[in-house]
Structure formats: structure tokens, C-alpha cells
Chain A
Amino acid sequence: MDLSVLNPVQIMVALIIASTPVLFAALGELVVEKSGVLNLGVEGMMIVGAIGGFATGAATGSLWLAVLAGAGAGALLALLFAVMTQYLMSNQVATGLALTLFGLGVAALAGQNFAGVTLDVAVRLDVPGLTDLPVVGSLLFGHDPLIYLSIFMTIAVWWFLNRSRAGLNLRAIGENHDAAHAIGYSVRLTRVAAILFGGAMAGVGGAYLSVIATPLWVEGMTAGRGWIALAIVVFAAWKPGRALLGAYLFGGVTIIQLNLQALGVPIESQYLSMTPYLATIVVLVVISADKARARLNAPACLGKPFYASS
């Protein structure tokens, strides 16, 4: 076995690329859940984002239009969820699951003419001079702009939730929607906005997958990443910084596992594939074993329907 063929910087970069779609989706869902809504349709919103982004990228050749289209497609599907759960008061869990199935179907239908199409819009952010620095250069610079956007969004979501007035309102609504309503916050509008944001972020994650990470379109290409994003939100205990860590951990396990296998290290790949899920379960157990901690983390009104009192 020759460990020298392993390039830690390249592994790190591969890890980040593998994690970014999930990170986008997880950040979006985190905000949604903080507002007290459980949207299990992440997988569906990701896949419509993937086809929306891919189709636009193929038609226009522009990365940014593709990303915008992905966000738009995800948000559009999320709008459906928002109307159903916030105005028609349908059950959030059932509606979310239906959204996933619906999203997969719509994406397959819309993508029929795009199977076999290739595109090349991956615009790399090349910073002259800096990329050539050893280690730091190739680690920090020269990636696609969406990686930087995902890190920026992590900070932005943290700032919004913890440092802004609107974020405080959103958290208040997630913790106790009746009280928030009583003091005059608009529960529904806030939640609809959060759901749309969640959809847009899932859509960007999907578009990242189909436009940059694996530049092609095939049905079902998200392959369960939406569910991983949901797991990461819990794993992260609804904290954006930890969502970033969680996403990189999930991505890292996959990438390191693949690299070790290519090296010929005798590991049972199934065990490594399981570890992120086991970690999620452990976190779930830890936070629910301790009542005080559970109250600190999970939004108290998560998944509960809100009926506005007149």
C-alpha cells in the first residue's frame, strides 16, 4: 500500500464538492424547521432543482442562470407545500412525503429530453497567483463559486437566526406559534417565507449536483441526498455551523472510504457507509435523553399545525 498517492488537499476538495449539495439543502431545511414546519419534501425539491438547473444550463450556458432556475424550481415546489400546509392545513408529514414523490415524478417528466445531454458551464473562480500557492492555494481558491456561496450561506443563516430581528421572530414562531401570534407576528407569512427559502436552497443543492458535481441529468440522480439533509438538520441540533460540519462529515466518510478502497485498504465499505446514519441516531438519542437539552434544540412547535385564532 502506498499512502503517498493520497493527496490530502485533493481529498479535502472532493469531500467539499460531495458535501455541498447536501449542505445547501440542510441549511434551507434548518430555517424551515426553526420556523416550526417540518418539510419532508427535500428530496423532491432537490430533484426539481437539479432538472431545472440542468435544463437552464443546457439552454443558456450560464452557471448563474442555471443556479437561479434551480432555486426557482425548488421554491415553486415548496410553494405548493406552503399553500397545502399553511392555508389548507394538510398534515405536514404526509404532504412532505407526497412532495418528494411528486417532485421525482415531475422531474422525470420534465427531464425526458435531457437524458444524454451534456453541458459545460462550470465556471471556476480562478484567482491568479493565489491558486498556485502550495496547499493553501489549491485548497482555498480555484473552486466553483457555489462552494463559496454555500459557506457564505452558512454564516448568513447563522447571522439571520441569531443576530437579526427577523430571525428572532422566526424562532419565536417556531417555539410557540400561539404566543407569537398573540403579540402580533404573522405566523403564516413567516412560515411561507421560510418554506420558500428552504425550497430555493434545496433547489440550489440539486442544481449543484446536476450542473457542477456530476454534470449530467438522469432520473432520480439525487439518490437520497434529500433524506441525508434532513438527517443532518437533526444531527446539527438546528445549528448552522454544525450543519456545515455534519455535511462535511457525511461527505467525508464517503470520500475517504472510496479513496481507502482504491488504495486497497481492507475495510468493509458497508460499515463506513453506515457511520453517518449511526452518528445521527446517536445525536438523536443524546438530545432526546435529556429533556432540558431537547427543549433547547428542537423547535417546540415543529410539525404542529397552526390555526389562527380570530
Chain B
Amino acid sequence: MNLVKKIMGAVVGLGAGLAISAGAALAAGHEPLKVGFVYVGPVGDFGWTHTHDLGRKAVEEAFGDKVETSFVENVAEGPDAERVIRQMAQSGHDLIFTTSFGFMNPTVKVAKQFPDVKFEHATGFKRDDNVSTYSARFYEGRHVIGLIAGQMTETNTIGYIASFPIPEVVRGINSAYLAAKSVNPDVQFKIVWVNTWFDPGKESEAANALIEQGADIIMQHTDSAAAMTIAEEKGVMAFGQASDMGSFGPNAQLTGIIDEWGPYYVARTQAVMDGTWESMDTWDGIKDGMVEFAPYNENLPKDVVALAEWARLGIMLEKIHPFTGPINKQDGTPWLAEGETASDGDLLGMNFYVEGIDGVLPN
């Protein structure tokens, strides 16, 4: 499929290129900046990859003929990724975004071989002279949905479909749990690891298992809308992930955390054009508009919405930090003292559950 799309993309690109060559772009000696994107899932996943592709489209919209974007979707994390990234670098891309945690090592490796190409890796922590990293503070969004979940659950059981036990995902679980617990001391999280970012069948099986075991709210950290579909069918509540999944669960979706990559992608593309691009680490959240929310479900009580909005604004104004002490680790050892907030370093390396969460964190 990738091949078909790439060939079609190449043909379209060639056509566009020829059209432009008659115009001003080439006459003025400007070649369009080539921006490439490597995706872990399909652009039609209505989740994680979908939002990155919206970001790519925002770049096209912002720069018109001055950029040429391309993407490869469904790239498996591992050796395949390295091949795809290298191929992109070889084919004259100036800026390459690799949008999954598992692309980290391949990105850094290829970047060493192509010092003139700029690389941007999402959600990772390894940087180089020509490798930047960027991510969003999704845990801020998780804090808000955790508050809603804690108030809305009637069974006091929240089901959580998790992908891989990496800090990003663990942080989300902890943030949502602490928020839910703060408004509902009896709340309990049931966490299921599915070991995949994208497998709609397995995601829906996990949702079914959680609902059967009493969860009346489903949270997910996987990429498809399958769990939302199941929640709608079974009459329980859920939160959209990465994209607005309201069309899959018009009754079920309470709200959703939406990733907004467009502004960042536009800014970085601009930086390459201006020659001001530098390797850096970006971690933006609600304040910078990288984390947004789907509309609140109209059946949510007013006070629940009010508290959620209060938290959202509090985070935006930096009055609220989702990880504010006292917080103990799962085994009871103290982590944050009263009033202390977690450092970014602690958050980025988080590999433990906080106190109160049942179950063992897989390695």
C-alpha cells in the first residue's frame, strides 16, 4: 500500500513539479523544500497518525508551492523504519519527521549518515546536532479526563487500555489516576496492556474484557477508535484519543484529548527555510495549544464540566501541575513531598505506578 501511494504521490508530485517549472518558483531558482513524514499507523486510523497527517496538511496549506510533503504510513518499528527513513533522506528530503517512539534509534542512526538533513523525532529523548525531539504533554490532558472520569463512574472502576510500558504511557496512567482519585477516593483502575499501538480487533477485545469486569468508563492509549465503538455499543463512557472520536461514540465520548501538531510542524518548516533550525527539545502542552480537547458530551453535568474547565485553565496558567505532592510510588516510598511538583526529567523517565494503582507494571 505504501508503494502504491508513494508511486501515486510521485506521479502527482512530478505533475505538480512540471507545472511549477513553467511558473515562478523555478525561474527564481527556488526549489520547494521537501518535508517527509514517517508514520507508524495508517493515516486513516482516526487517532495518532491521523493527527500527524493533519499537521502535514497544515504545512502544505501554510507554504503552498514552497514545500513538497510526502509520507510513508504503516512503518513497523524496527529495521523497516531505518530503511524507510534512509530512503527518505536519500531522496532529497530536507526535513523528516518520524512520529513514533520506536523510530528513535533508527532516526538517530540515519541522521548521523545525513548531517545536512534535519530530523525531528516525536516522543523520544535522543538528540543530535541534526535531530530534534518533540512531544506533547498529554499527561495534562489525562489530568482533565481523569477528573471527569472520577466523578462520572458509578462502578468506581475505570478501564485503561495501554499499549507499551514506556514512560509516556505510564505517565498518562498515573496522571489520570491521581486526578480521578482526587475527586473519588474509591476509584479503581483496571489496566490492560495490549502490546500494540494499533490493532482494532485486540483493542475492542480489551474494551470488552474491561467492561465485563465492571468498568463503566474506558480510557485508551492506543491508536484506533475501536474501543470507542465498543463503548457506544455497550452503553458505557469513554474518552477519545488523539483525534475527536465523537463520530464513533456520539453518546459514549465524554470528551477527548486531541493532539495538535500543525503549528509546530509549520514553525519547524519555517525554521529550515530561514536557516534558523537548531536541534532542540520541545515539550508543549495545553498552554501552547499542542494538547486540545474534543467538545464535552452534552450529557455531562454542569459541575463536572466546570471542574474540568477549571483544571484546563489552571494548567494553562501554570497554576496546576498534574503531579503535585504528596505523591508516593506504588510500593509506598515517597516520591514528591507536599507541594513539590515533578521535574521534567522525572516525568520523562517515569517507570513506576503511583500509590493506589493495583497490578504490576510490565517491564
Contact = CB atoms under 8 A, between A and B. Distances in A.
A221 B247 CA distance: 18
B42 interface: yes
Given A5-B214, A221-B224, A266-B359, A216 B200 contact: yes
Contacts, number: 131
B201 A21 contact: yes
A254 B190 contact: no
Contacts of B209: 14, 255, 258-259, 261-262
A116 interface: yes
B1 to A, nearest CB: 4
Contacts of B225: 216, 218
B68 interface: no
Contacts of A108: 1, 5, 42, 44
Interface in A93-142: 101-102, 104-105, 108-109, 111-112, 115-118
B346 interface: no
B44 A105 contact: no
B7 to A, nearest CB: 10
Interface stretch (A55-63, A173-181, A207-215, A286-294): A207-215
A270 interface: yes
Interface string B1-41: 10111000000000000000000000000000000000001
A14 B212 contact: yes
User: A104, A220, A223 — which one has the most chain B CB atoms within 10 A of its CB?
Assistant: A220
User: A104, A109, A216, A224 — which one has the most chain B CB atoms within 10 A of its CB?
Assistant: A216
A220 B74 contact: yes
Interface string B261-281: 000000000000000000000
Nearest to B8: A109
A268 B358 contact: no
Contact of A214 (B3, B159, B215, B229): B229
Nearest to A122: B233
B204 to A, nearest CB: 4
A268 B164 CA distance: 12
B205 A220 contact: no
A218 B41 CA distance: 10
Contacts of B204: 213-214
Nearest to A47: B1
A269 B225 CA distance: 22
A118 B248 contact: yes
Contacts of B230: 214
Nearest to A112: B44
A101 B1 contact: yes
Contacts of A109: 4
B248 A216 contact: yes
Query: How many B residues are at the interface, by size bracket?
Result: 35 or more
User: Helix, strand, loop or mixed for chain A's interface?
Assistant: helix
A263 B247 CA distance: 31
Interface string A245-275: 0000000001100110111101011100100
Interface in A221-249: 221-225
Contacts of B43: 219
Interface string B239-276: 00000000110000000000000000000000000000
B201 to A, nearest CB: 6
A21 B362 CA distance: 29
Contact of A221 (B201, B358, B359): B201
A310 interface: no
Interface in B326-344: none
Interface stretch (B144-152, B171-179, B191-199): B191-199
A282 interface: no
A18 interface: yes
A6 interface: yes
Interface string B350-363: 00000000111011
Interface string B214-234: 110000000011100110110
A264 B359 contact: yes
B206 interface: yes
Interface in B63-92: 73-74
Contacts of A116: 46, 247-248
Given A115-B44, A218-B42, A220-B74, A258 B205 contact: yes
Given A216-B226, A218-B44, A218-B46, A262 B247 contact: no
Given A14-B212, A215-B229, 11 more contacts: A118-B232, A118-B248, A221-B201, A223-B200, A223-B201, A258-B209, A262-B206, A263-B190, A264-B359, A269-B195, A270-B195
23 contacts: A5-B212, A105-B3, A108-B1, A108-B42, A112-B44, A116-B46, A116-B247, A118-B248, A214-B200, A214-B201, A218-B42, A219-B74, A224-B199, A225-B201, A254-B202, A255-B205, A258-B205, A258-B209, A259-B209, A259-B212, A264-B358, A264-B359, A270-B362
